[in-house]
């Protein structure tokens, strides 16, 4: 997990924004007056913010551009102010017509070809990043997520003197509710448009804030619940296998016991290396897919731990 409060290391996130297709593809390069250089939008990760959310936020703050993240790019590692610094980057696309707003962080933005970018960019590491971004692909994320922090089973049971409600009604804790706001920011960064969940309250509550903020429907399935999975896991596996090849930005929110099997099914369906779905509450496995490649659709895989 990234600890952005670690005083011995700096973490930042940014984007390489592209528009157009093929030979007409252009990249956004900004001029930073306080450093007198040409680079890409980026900035420090704040508190418990996820790196993808920070990348989108910093991009907007520095450029006024609204973007969605696509394939993950190689992080940059270097020394800054005598401290190790890591900057996470993603290939990004505009989700609204570009309208650059000059500010103290970036007073100029230009859209240029790769050849022009390699001449304009100040730093060699950014030139390599530009090359990588042009070779990368637009992707549709499939996010496999574990629900946020929920009440412990024993604590839930002890609240009732007689009949204990079904486990599916066990709610999130106060910290779990706080996590859902960070989770919403993460899902927004990747432009999630389809929300699938176990029908258990703790899963629905994990993704419902994002669904509400985007006015998106939430599809809840008993087949993905712990009970439904224990009775017969095949319907849940069939559902996720189908979703894995759907060309939509998807999140599936489920439970710890089923995540490894779901990840294994996805890896087989998408013909990729084994996926590690060992996730803490609020954890997310992000699978970047280019489904135009029928043989090897998975471009990159990331794991994030979302905290309150």
What is the pairing mode between strands 194-198 and 218-221?
A: parallel
CB neighbourhood size of 73 (10 A): 24
Tokens of 21: 């297709």
Helices (H) then strands (E): counts for the chain: 9, 14
Task: State yes or no: pLDDT of 5 exceeds 60.
Answer: no
CB neighbourhood size of 247 (10 A): 11
Q: Computed from CA positions of residues 263, 181, 9, 86, in that sequence, does the dihedral angle turn out positive or negative? A: positive
Tokens of 155: 């604590």
Which positions ≥6 away from 247 have C-beta within 8 Å? 140, 291
% of the chain beyond a pLDDT of 70: 98
Pick 227 or 101 by higher pLDDT: 227
Label residue 58 left, alpha or beta by phi (over 0 means left) and psi (-120 to 50 means alpha): alpha
Q: Quick one: which H or E segment has residue 158? A: helix 153-158
18-192-88 Cα angle (round to 5)? 50
DSSP code at position 172: B
Banded pLDDT at 164 (limits 50, 70, 90):
confident
Residue among 99, 97, 111, 106 at smallest CA distance from 14: 106
Q: Quick one: which H or E segment has residue 17? A: strand 10-19
Phi, psi of 94 (to 5 degrees): -70, 145
Task: State yes or no: pLDDT of 1 exceeds 70.
Answer: no
Mean pLDDT of the 44-59 span: 95
CA distance 80 to 150: 39
CA distance 71 to 77: 19
- The answer to whether 172 and 224 have CB atoms below 8 angstroms apart is no
Banded pLDDT at 141 (limits 50, 70, 90):
very high
% of the chain beyond a pLDDT of 90: 88
Mean pLDDT of the chain: 95
Confidence (pLDDT) at 2: 57
* Residue ranges of the chain assigned to CATH 3.90.79.10: 10-135
* Residue ranges of the chain assigned to CATH 3.40.50.1240: 140-305
Mean pLDDT of the 29-44 span: 97
CA distance 66 to 94: 6
Mean pLDDT of the 281-296 span: 96
Mean pLDDT of the 146-169 span: 88
SS3 content of the chain, % helix, strand, coil (to 5): 35, 30, 35
Confidence (pLDDT) at 20: 95
Please give the span between the terminal C-alpha atoms of the chain, in angstroms, as a whole number: 13
Q: Tokens 């997990």 sit at which residue?
A: 1
CATH topology for 140-305?
Rossmann fold (3.40.50)
Task: State yes or no: pLDDT of 305 exceeds 80.
Answer: yes
Residue among 244, 253, 231, 235 at smallest CA distance from 306: 253
**pTM for this model (two decimals):** 0.95
Superfamily holding 10-135:
Nucleoside Triphosphate Pyrophosphohydrolase (3.90.79.10)
């Amino acid at each position: 997990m990234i600890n952005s409060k670690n005083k011995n290391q700096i973490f930042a996130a940014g984007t390489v924004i592209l528009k157009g297709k093929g030979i007409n593809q252009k990249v956004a390069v900004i001029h930073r007056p306080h450093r007198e250089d040409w680079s890409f939008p980026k900035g420090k990760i704040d508190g418990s913010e996820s790196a993808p959310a920070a990348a989108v936020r910093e991009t907007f703050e520095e450029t006024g551009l609204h973007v969605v993240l696509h394939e993950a790019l190689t992080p940059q590692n270097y020394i800054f102010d005598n401290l190790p610094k890591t900057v996470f980057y993603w290939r990004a696309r505009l989700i609204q017509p570009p309208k650059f707003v000059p500010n103290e962080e970036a007073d100029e933005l230009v859209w240029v070809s790769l050849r022009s970018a390699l001449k304009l960019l100040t730093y060699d590491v950014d030139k390599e990043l530009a090359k990588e971004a042009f070779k990368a692909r637009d992707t549709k994320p499939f996010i496999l997520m574990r629900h946020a922090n929920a009440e412990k089973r024993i604590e839930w049971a002890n609240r009732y003197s007689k009949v204990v409600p079904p486990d599916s009604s066990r709610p999130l804790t106060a910290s779990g509710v706080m996590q859902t706001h960070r989770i919403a920011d993460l899902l927004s960064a990747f432009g999630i448009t389809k929300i699938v969940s176990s029908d258990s309250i703790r899963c629905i509550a994990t993704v419902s804030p994002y669904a509400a903020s985007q006015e998106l429907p939430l599809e809840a399935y008993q087949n993905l619940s712990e009970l439904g999975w224990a009775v017969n896991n095949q319907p849940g596996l069939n559902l996720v296998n189908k979703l894995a090849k759907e060309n939509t930005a998807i999140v599936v929110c489920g439970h710890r016991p089923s995540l490894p099997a779901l990840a294994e099914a996805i890896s087989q369906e998408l013909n990729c290396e084994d996926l590690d779905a060992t996730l803490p509450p609020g954890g997310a496995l992000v699978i970047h897919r280019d489904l135009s490649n029928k043989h090897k659709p998975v471009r990159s895989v990331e794991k994030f731990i979302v905290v309150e």
